[in-house]
């Protein structure tokens, strides 16, 4: 709740994003990004029990969603694919694959089956 209302956090996020950086959030944290307008018109994911009342956000039921320089993830169980997507964004596909192989994690990340 405090982060959602923080002007300082909004200023830091704006500075990072305006200077070409990535913003990443998982679990309930995408709610903070939504509150500060970073998810407007974007695809995102977050913890299944969290409600976001923001009509401009397209919710994807995926472990990790990358939309431009915004990376979101559903929760603690998706931490590994989330981390590997961050590595890919910051260091490239080859480095993400190298780390995934060392961790015995499939790469590229498999898409979950659709119901």
User: According to the model, what pLDDT value does residue 99 have?
Assistant: 97
Report pLDDT digits (tens) over 20-40: 999 999 999 999 999 999 999
Buried/exposed code over 45-68 (b: 16+ C-beta within 10 A; e: otherwise): bbbeeeebeeeebebbebbbbbbe
Which band of pLDDT confidence, cut at 50, 70 and 90, is reported for residue 3?
Answer: confident
- pLDDT at 115 > cutoff 80: no
Asked about 15 being catalytic, the answer comes back as no
88, 69 contact by CB (below 8 A): no
Catalytic residue from among 23, 25, 27, 84: 27
For the chain, domains (ranges, CATH) are: 2-77 (3.40.50.880)
pTM over 0.85: yes
């Amino acid at each position: 709740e405090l982060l959602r209302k923080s002007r300082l956090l909004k200023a830091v996020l704006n500075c990072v994003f305006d200077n070409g950086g990535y913003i990443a959030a998982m679990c309930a944290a995408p709610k903070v990004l939504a509150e500060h307008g970073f998810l407007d018109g974007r695809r995102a994911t977050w913890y299944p029990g969290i409600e976001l009342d923001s009509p401009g956000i397209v919710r994807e039921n995926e472990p990790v969603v990358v939309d431009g320089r915004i990376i979101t993830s559903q929760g603690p169980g998706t931490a590994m694919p989330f981390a590997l997507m961050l590595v890919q964004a910051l260091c490239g596909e080859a480095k993400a694959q190298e780390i995934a192989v060392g961790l015995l994690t499939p790469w590229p990340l498999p898409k979950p089956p659709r119901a």
